[in-house]
Amino acid sequence: MILNVAIPRRKRSFREGRSPEPAQRHSSSGVPVLSFQTGLDAWKELETSSGQIAENYKDGSQAFNYINKSFMEIGNQIGSLESEQQLNSEPLQEQLKHYKALITKANKLLNHFLLHSNFKKISRNAEAKLRDLKLSEEIYMKELDIIANVYAATIQTQNLITPAEFNSIFGKFAPLSELHQSLFKDLQSAVLSYPNEGIGPIFLNLFDREKFDIYLQYHSSFHLIVDKLAVAIKENKGLANFIKLTEKQFQSIHELIRRPLQRLPEYINFLEELKLEVNSDVTDRDHLGVVIEKFRSLVDAIDAKTVAVVNFNRIIEVENRIQGVDENIVRPDRTFVYEAPLKLFPNGAKKHVSDYAFLFSDLLIYCTSTGKNYTFSGKISINNITSVEPNLANRNQIIISVSPTDKFIGQVNDRTEAIDWELNIYKSIRDCIRNRKLFGVPLHVLMKREEPSRQVPKFVEKALWFIYDNGLKSEGIFRISGRSTQVDRLKDSLNQGGKVFFSPTMDIHSIATLVKLWFRELPEPLFTWDGCLEMLNVHRNILDPEEQLDAFKKIIAELPECNRYIAKLLINCLRAIGDNQQKTKMSPEAIALVFAPNVLSTRADGADTTNHGNIDAFSQILTMLIKNFQTLFDMTEAMEHEV
């Protein structure tokens, strides 16, 4: 229902004291504004037909906006009357009183309408933001149109560059134009009836159809576009002359090809400002929040990919500078960090083995140099570096430790260079621990890399189930050591962020040794420092078997969720091995003897393997856990069997 009241225009003067009569006036913008009495009549009509308006919110929106202008107009009239110098005249006072009564009554009708229809009022600031968004989209479309129909079309028609060059430079602009033509059309419709027709769903629909992925592709190829265009202009005078002439009438082609880089941050700004102006009870406010997060995620992905491209090119450049390197330096998960002079002295050596080094996220390569040429001398894996610290005896040196006994001394020219190397190596160590290293990393750090639905690190779960499925017939499982070369290779691969796919053809003892090693190198034992100490106290001070079991059950229940779930998987695997001791030759006592030091210890134990009192006690505790698995662990918790 659209209210369309035609009122004959006539002049009148409030100073003459005439009663208000319906009249059509025009606002400063040229839009017809109803007189207030007509507006009041319209509100009465809205009151009786709010159900119909609720079904056709566009009509309701137009009715509201139309009459709201009258509402504002009568407010201006009241302000004008109150400023009159002759307010003591009885006609003016009566007229002012009449208008104020109408305002009060109409306000009640307004509230009634908003309460009984699905139409929601939008603030003036929100209207302004919507207009800005629409105008910005229109301008951006014109910029894309200049690229497509002024530059690209002429260049293609006149064959100023080859088809391959044309596709490399202008190939992404057709899908960009198609995307924004569709977006602008939907925005035009939504702006007219906002907020009943939301802005958020328009963007969400495009995200669901992966239409904005074209921006990821464009950002990835932007440097190629710039390079190709620069080469083409340099080598083709006809192209150079055309661009020079065209840029006198239109925006620069270099400015225009940069515009898609700026558009996504612009959307974030526009939508954040709009969201601030939209009332909390408007559904589109939540939709806008989701859209903003999607744009931020896309921008983050673009930034990461851009950095990745720059990094990839830098690593290729470094690889070309080093002669004799024993591996392919270029890897998709490797990032360049730092390079500078660095003389490395192996522990105790008087002669340095390098005078220049290149630092990556997972590797330190050291070389000898002759001018600008570098010859590979050696490498240190970042996950093997246990610490980097200044040498207190020499301010120009750092100490790089790769084990308690194996160290390198790094010599530079001054303390500033030493600090640079120290900080950058430490950064690589920290990033390695946070993002890729698997051994010697706290459980809570490992779990941050996993999907939210996972309860334990994927490697641990897969490895324990692999042993459960393939090791119950293997004699001496967990007692017999695996092949050291295979274990080292698997550990190094996992610490580099690699994926290990277990197969029945692999040496089961190597996998079992790898699992023991992972548990042993946890910074805090699986059952936690406090849990281990409590278990030790229970074992020594509570003699009644039933009470002891109850106490152990309580300790296990209070473990962090990840620790408790891993413990359940582990003890279930050890129990199965003990149940098959005729084939494995491993009783629960034998299993506990070889495995307890890897999961149970106290801070006081540290690296002291001579503390036989605790070792024996923890072996007995683990034996008890294995034998009473179903009693001690919550069997209602599912154990997903992942192979």
Residue 61, CA distances (Å) to 5, 181, 426 in order: 16, 25, 61
Torsion on CA atoms 49, 51, 55, 58, rounded to nearest 10 = 40
498 contacts 576 by C-beta, under 8 angstroms: no
Residues in the chain predicted with pLDDT less than 70, given as ranges, are: 1-89, 91-93, 95-96, 98-123, 605-613, 635-643
* 195 prior amide bond cis, ω within 30: yes
In the prediction, which pLDDT does 19 show? 36
Q: Are 497 and 335 spatial neighbours (Cβ–Cβ below 8 Å)?
A: no
How big, in percent rounded to 5, are the helix, strand and coil portions of the chain? 60, 10, 30
In sign, the C-alpha dihedral spanning 224, 227, 232, 235 is negative
Tokens 């209070």, residue located = 558
Q: Are 264 and 298 in contact (CB under 8 A)?
A: yes
What confidence score (pLDDT) does residue 475 get?
Answer: 94
Q: Which residue has the tokens 């039933």?
A: 546
How do the domains of the chain map onto residue ranges? 14-116, 124-304, 333-435, 444-632
Asked if 438 contacts 495 with a C-beta cutoff of 8 angstroms, the reply is yes
Strand ranges for 470-603 from DSSP E: none
**pLDDT value at residue 526:** 95
- Whole-structure pTM value: 0.49
Residue 8 token pair: 């004959």
- In this prediction, residue 291 carries a pLDDT of 94
Supply 464's token pair: 């324990």
Domain 333-435 matching CATH 2.30.29.30: the answer reads yes
Say yes or no: domain 124-304 is CATH 1.10.3470.10.
Answer: no
Name the class of domain 444-632: mainly alpha
Q: Kindly state the DSSP code that residue 501 receives in the 8-state scheme.
A: -
CA-based R_g, the chain, Å: 38
What SS3 state is found at 367?
A: strand
* Backbone angles phi and psi of 348, in degrees to 5: 85, -10
What pLDDT, in 10s, does the model give residues 30-71? 333 334 455 455 545 544 544 444 444 334 444 455 455 555
DSSP letter, residue 104: H
Name which of 537, 526, 517 is nearest 617 in CA terms. 537
Question: Residue 123 has what pLDDT?
Answer: 65
Count Cα atoms within 13 angstroms, Cβ side, for 344.
24
Site of tokens 């006690």: 617
Contact between 23 and 10 under an 8 Å Cβ cutoff? The reply is yes
* pLDDT for the residue 108: 64
- Tens-digit pLDDT profile for residues 297-316: 998 888 877 777 778 888 88
**Ranges of H-type helices in 474-544:** 484-495, 508-520, 529-541
Amino acid at 51: G
CB 66 within 8 A of CB 34: yes
Tell me if residue 114 falls in helix, strand or coil. Answer: helix
Closest CA to 572 of 441, 442, 456, 485: 456
